[in-house]
Amino acid sequence: MHEQGKYIRIEVADPTPLGLTGLAMVTLVAASQKLGWTEGLSMVIPWAIFLGGFAQLMACVYDFKHNNLFGSTAFGVYGFFWLSVGTTWLIKLGVFGAALAQTVDVHQLGFAFLGYLIISLFITVASFRTNKVLIAIMVLIDVLFLGLMMSSFEMGEIWHSIAAWSELVISLLGFYGAGANLLNKFYGRVMLPVGSPVMK
């Protein structure tokens, strides 16, 4: 901020724990449905919109303030993904009317997942300069989108299972990453290791 010839720096807290918690929560609930542990989408949608969507978008905005290109891009991309997925489920359930629900073509989702797989591969390469927990999350996100894409193109039930289990592990790693980032920053030392980057 510039005021009367002086620059004022406004510091904000690291939003990574919030963003990773949002990711972990929504993937946990969504994985429970994919794995058949729970049924239906009605109770998945709020978590997709508020945790998967808004929480990650908040983290995205504050990572822009941190000049964190990786975090802002990743949280922004996946935040909008979950808002889109939540809206897709609402359409499928007929919330926006029977006409939209009756004209759903699941193959269009396959192309959307293909697009997300492509950008996720770039984000994965960028993650090599972060830490091993984020690298593992990104690799599994790539597997998740591959599974979702192939399942949407009706390439076999195995792809649905691959997507479901990868989503569950993403959730577990997301919770660990959120907790590690929070505790390590809060205490100023390594409470939970996340591993060093694999590329300098």
User: How far apart (Å, rounded) are the C-alpha atoms in residues 64 and 62?
Assistant: 5
Task: Parse the chain into domains and list their residue ranges.
Answer: 13-187
Nearest CA among 133, 155, 135, 137 for reference residue 146: 155
Which pLDDT tens digit goes with each residue over 86-124?
Answer: 999 999 999 999 988 888 888 999 999 999 999 999 999
Which pLDDT tens digit goes with each residue over 4-57?
Answer: 667 666 778 999 999 999 999 999 999 999 999 999 999 999 999 999 999 999
User: How far apart (Å, rounded) are the C-alpha atoms in residues 177 and 183?
Assistant: 10
Residues 6+ apart with CB under 8 A from 96: 90
- pTM score above 0.85: yes
CATH code for the structural domain at 13-187:
1.25.40
User: How far apart (Å, rounded) are the C-alpha atoms in residues 48 and 92?
Assistant: 15
User: How far apart (Å, rounded) are the C-alpha atoms in residues 50 and 32?
Assistant: 18
| φ, ψ (nearest 5 deg) of residue 95 | -65, -35
Q: Is the pLDDT of residue 3 over 60?
A: no
